[in-house]
Chains A and B, each alone.
Chain A
Amino acid sequence: MSEALWALGRGTGVISLILITVSVVLGILTRSGRPAFGMPRFAVTLVHRNASLLGSVFVLVHVVSLFFDPYAELRLVDFFVPFLGTAKPIWLGLGTVSLDLLVALIVTALLRRFIGHRVFRAVHWFSYAMWPIALAHSLGDGTDAGTVWFLTLAGLCTAAVLGSVGWRASRVFVEFRGTRGAEEPA
């Protein structure tokens, strides 16, 4: 039983990383206002949303399975308060921080209509903190972190996010930049 929980915790952690990476990249694409990968704009937005929700489900399974796994020594408080863990407190704590940020991101996104665009956007900026913290947690805490396949995967995810962020910060990011002149990307 414990073996199964451990395997589940590991596997869902890796899948979470992939889905969150996809979500960040598609979120940046959504912000650009451009169609991408053969999808129209509204589909990019939909896939961004669905990848985020699915990623959160995997994160949930990830933390719950490791909670019930006796070797992980997770306590309930570790879900919410970082750096109190017994095993590898720093790396586990980073996982806690990214979990808390993820919860804030998902809740504010789902309640976007009620809380308004300003609050939504202010919280959504934390995605840029959540992703690297989650990656650091996977590299520091992950059982597979030292393997070639995981490092390759982590490298690919990093390249995807850095590439998108670089593009986001560049002048060619917003559509209609030509006609809109020197508009500030905000």
Chain B
Amino acid sequence: MTEKSLHIDWIACDGRGLCTELLSELLERDEWGYPRALGYGSDVPVPRQLQDAARDAVALCPRLALTLS
């Protein structure tokens, strides 16, 4: 597995917080409930051990705001 990156589409995201639950090691919620990765913007590198959780987040995001590439 190569290094993957989680892309957050800010127009689609509604800050529902599913991804921040599944990827709590990676993402935190800002004061409006939107995901935030310290030091990164809309493309967040996903470490190997979190790739399954990232895939779940992509599948479950109610707004289809996440892509993993």
Residues in A lying within 8 Å of B, measured CB to CB: 30-31, 33, 40-42, 45-46, 112-113, 116-117, 120, 175-176, 179-180
Contact = CB atoms under 8 A, between A and B. Distances in A.
A33 B64 contact: no
A42 B64 contact: no
Contacts of A116: 64
Interface of B: 12, 14-18, 21-22, 31-33, 56-57, 60, 62-64
B63 A117 contact: yes
A144 B18 CA distance: 40
A180 B56 CA distance: 27
23 contacts: A30-B62, A31-B62, A33-B16, A33-B17, A41-B16, A41-B18, A41-B21, A42-B21, A42-B56, A42-B57, A42-B60, A45-B60, A45-B62, A112-B64, A113-B64, A117-B12, A117-B64, A120-B64, A175-B17, A175-B33, A176-B31, A176-B33, A179-B32
Across the A-B interface, give the 6 residue pairs with the lowest CB-CB distance, nearest first: A33-B16, A176-B33, A42-B18, A117-B64, A41-B18, A40-B21
A176 B18 CA distance: 14
Nearest to A49: B60
A88 B41 CA distance: 59
Nearest to A43: B21
Contacts of B18: 41-42, 45
Given A33-B14, A42-B60, A179-B32, 15 more contacts: A30-B62, A33-B62, A40-B21, A41-B16, A41-B17, A42-B18, A45-B18, A112-B64, A116-B64, A117-B63, A117-B64, A120-B64, A176-B15, A176-B31, A176-B32
Contacts of A33: 14-17, 33, 62
Contacts of B33: 33, 175-176, 179-180
A42 B22 contact: yes
A116 B32 CA distance: 25
Nearest to B57: A42
B66 to A, nearest CB: 11
B50 to A, nearest CB: 14
Most B C-beta atoms less than 10 A away, residue of A40, A42, A117, A180: A42
